[in-house]
Amino acid sequence: MKVLLHVCCGPCAIYPLEWLRSAGHEVTGVFYNPNIHPFKEFARRFETAVQWAKGVELSLMLDDAYGLEEFITLVKEDLKMPKRCAHCYRIRLRNVAQKAKTGGYDAFSTSLLVSPYQQHELIREIAEEVATETGVAFLYHDYREGWKRGVEQSRELELYRQPYCGCIFSEQDRYYKGAGRLLAHV
Ligand code: SF4
């Protein structure tokens, strides 16, 4: 099948691409991630995805528009997880499915399904909704079986590995431990 693979970042896409190719699929990638903030982080993940794709000879559709305003507008009524993440998954997967439809692909898939830190069942549910909406099949596979393998390969390739999920709220969750911490060091 001709498959359009959503690439959330280079390291996460390593195993999904390997699995899809080994299953005989013809794969094209697409980088569309308006959820990555701030801009320097977005640029770094974008450049890493491009670097990785060149190395594995993957044709990668690129969208380098920085989506901070688009994303904040989308999630402003639902800042907490899991509702925030549901919006985040949907906007990306809908975009990828629409590109798959326009480009005549048989199916779409996503590297988000490799991570044990993502909400796997929610991603699957939303991808199936989007498949119904667009009429393009969703190729599901539980890529988590290859998570460790992807981590090891990304380290061997010296690819940048991000320290938090992506949005500015996940950066806060990763680093901000509450008021008073900074004052304690003044
Ligand atoms: S935590 Fe991750 S999945 Fe959830 S909204 Fe932020 S970037 Fe998206």
Ligand 1 geometric centre to CA of 24 (Å): 31
Pairing of the two strands 107-110 and 60-62: unpaired
For residue 36, the number of C-alpha atoms closer than 13 Å in the C-beta half-sphere is 22
What's the fold here for domain 2-185? Rossmann fold (3.40.50)
Ligand 1 geometric centre to CA of 22 (Å): 29
34 lines ligand 1 (CB under 6 A): no
| Distance from C-alpha of 102 to C-alpha of 89, rounded to nearest angstrom | 20
Ligand 1 geometric centre to CA of 166 (Å): 6
109 lines ligand 1 (CB under 6 A): no
Q: Is 120 left (phi over 0), alpha (psi -120 to 50) or beta?
A: alpha
167 lines ligand 1 (CB under 6 A): yes
35 lines ligand 1 (CB under 6 A): yes
Q: Which numbered atom of ligand 1 lies nearest the CA of 87?
A: 5
Q: Which numbered atom of ligand 1 lies nearest the CA of 36?
A: 7
Q: Which residue has the tokens 């974008």?
A: 46
pLDDT value at position 40?
Answer: 98
Two structure tokens written together for 111:
């590297």
pLDDT 10s digit of each residue in the chain, 186 long?
999 999 999 999 999 999 999 999 999 999 999 999 999 999 999 999 999 999 999 999 999 999 999 999 999 999 999 999 999 999 999 999 999 999 999 999 999 999 999 999 999 999 999 999 999 999 999 999 999 999 999 999 999 999 999 999 999 999 998 999 889 888
Q: How far does CA 18 lie from the centroid of its chain?
A: 16
Query: Which candidate, 103, 99, 77, 96, places its Cα nearest to that of 6?
Result: 96
Q: Is 4 left (phi over 0), alpha (psi -120 to 50) or beta?
A: beta
Amino acid in position 24:
G
